[in-house]
Structure 1
Amino acid sequence: MDKFTTLTGVAAPLKITNVDTDMIIPKQYLKTIKRTGLGAGLFHEMRFTEDGKENPDFVLNKPAYRKAQVLVAGDNFGCGSSREHAPWALLDFGIRCVISTSFADIFYNNCFKNGILPIKVSPEDLAKLMDDAERGANATLTIDLEAQEVRGPDGGTVKFDIDPHRKHCLLNGLDDIGLTMEKAKKIEHFEEKARALRPWH
């Protein structure tokens, strides 16, 4: 998993509440267990018309936001089913951070396991960041995980809270496998001891 330390990137405003995981990545994309290629299906029903053409009104299709790395979204982001394909699709598109007032628990947990930083802020701070994100090509935010702050294009700062263990994992690029590998020497020592005590195994 890629480390998340400081990210400076374009922030796209998604002024929609209750964005569920089916909106993020529709069911027809769930046949794969690969984490790559899903960016093409991200927000498919909003990004494309019924005949497969791009919807010019959708935020991620606008020139200023095509390479957005931050999503500033409405309340209760990631609700619905527990599909891990949702954070996979966001990451494959290039989104490394989602900011909202609240997230569905399973989606929130899945973000951390896949290298995406979900940031919870107050409604007042979300309104400020949404305003920043609506500046088009000038909608650049800096996310500093170590300092736990979001810096806007005008120098304004929004602080955020995060669980220390999750912060450690993101800063060091550790998913569940990476966390286990940190204890590789202890596991090896335990196995050697077990073999010595039970040589018949």
Structure 2
Amino acid sequence: MKRLTTIEGSAVPLPIDNLDTDQIMPKQFLRIIDKAGLADGLLYDLRFDECAAPRADCVLNKSAYANARILLGGANFGCGSSREHAVWGLQQFGFDAVIAPSFAEIFYSNAMNNRLLLVQLERDAVHALVREATRTPGASLLIDLESQTVRSASGSTYTYPIGARHKRMVIDGMDAVDLTLASLADIESFERAHFTRHPWAQVM
């Protein structure tokens, strides 16, 4: 899989705190047995009214933010149930990254395991990016995954934390299984040494 070292594109501001996975991907869109069609369900109740008509005041329905690759969210983004469909829906809608002050733990793991980059910045930094995206729709952000920085169109630069394991997973396109297999030689070496010391423990 091709290495992912930068994500560049416009950002859509959706600074709603405690936006949970039930809102991100409502239950009626979980009845499929594959990942197809989840973009239609993404944040459905925010995007559409009770008659299934697009809400004019929803930022995700505004043409100025069409094709945005980055979502600017609020604190505790992705809380609630552990449904992985929320991550898949965000990706199918076109998002490659979410920037927020904090993320729910399970959502964070699900996202990184699927190569959706989650960038955690201080609340003031996120608010500054939201103001810029609101003031100048379509303005581009550049996320450098290797240097762990976000640069806005105005030139402001922010550094974000990320664990070495998750950083490698996103850059190299690895899931948890791939990451384990990358250490297969070390695992097999450990097994050989272990059963040499404890041959009675080996299952024949």
Structure-1-length-normalised TM-score: 0.88
Tell me the CA shift for residue 137 of structure 1.
3.5
Q: Name the CA distance, whole Å, in 2 between partners of 1:74 and 1:81.
A: 17
Match for residue 41 of structure 1? 41
Q: Deviations over 1:11-54 (max 9, x none)?
A: 00002111010110000111123223201110000111111111
The 10-residue stretch of structure 1 (31-40 or 165-174) with the greater mean CA deviation from structure 2? 31-40
Identity, in percent, stands at 44
**How big is each residue's C-alpha offset from its partner over 1:152-171, in whole Å with a ceiling of 9 and x where there is no partner?**
00111011111011111111
1:82-127: per-residue Cα shift (whole Å, max 9, x none)? 1111101001111111111111111111110111111111111111
Could you tell me which runs of 5 or more consecutive residues in structure 2 were left unpaired when the two chains were aligned.
Answer: none
1:19 and 2:25 are equivalent in the alignment? no
2:104 maps to which residue? Answer: 104
| Amino acid paired to 1:7 | I
Change in CA separation of 1:5 and 1:142 when aligned onto 2, cut-off 3 Å: same
**Cα distance between partner residues in 2 of 1:39 and 1:63:** 17
What letter corresponds to residue 87 of structure 1 in structure 2? Answer: V
The residue correspondences of 1:1-201 to structure 2 (distance < 5 A) are 3-183=3-183
Aligned residues: 198
Alpha-carbon distance between aligned partners in 2 of 1:190 and 1:18, rounded to the nearest angstrom: 43
Cα separation, 2, equivalents of 1:34 and 1:51: 27
**Shift of the alpha carbon at 1:188?**
8.3
With over 3 angstroms needed to count, the CA separation of the structure-2 counterparts of 1:190 and 1:123, relative to structure 1, is: closer
Q: In structure 2, what is the Cα distance between the partners aligned to 1:184 and 1:160? A: 31
Deviates more, 1:173-182 or 1:65-74: 173-182
Contact 1:138/1:153, CA 8 A, preserved across alignment = no
- Stretch of structure 1 that moved more, 81-90 or 2-11: 2-11
Q: Distance in 2 between matches of 1:189 and 1:76?
A: 41
The amino acid across from 1:126 in the alignment is: V
Report SS of the residue matched to 1:80.
coil
CA-based RMSD: 2.4
Question: Which digits, 9 at most, give the CA deviation of each residue in 1:125-151, with x for residues without a partner?
Answer: 111111122134332111111010000
For structure 1, the residue ranges without an aligned partner over 5 or more in a row are none
Task: Output the TM-score relative to the length of structure 2.
Answer: 0.87
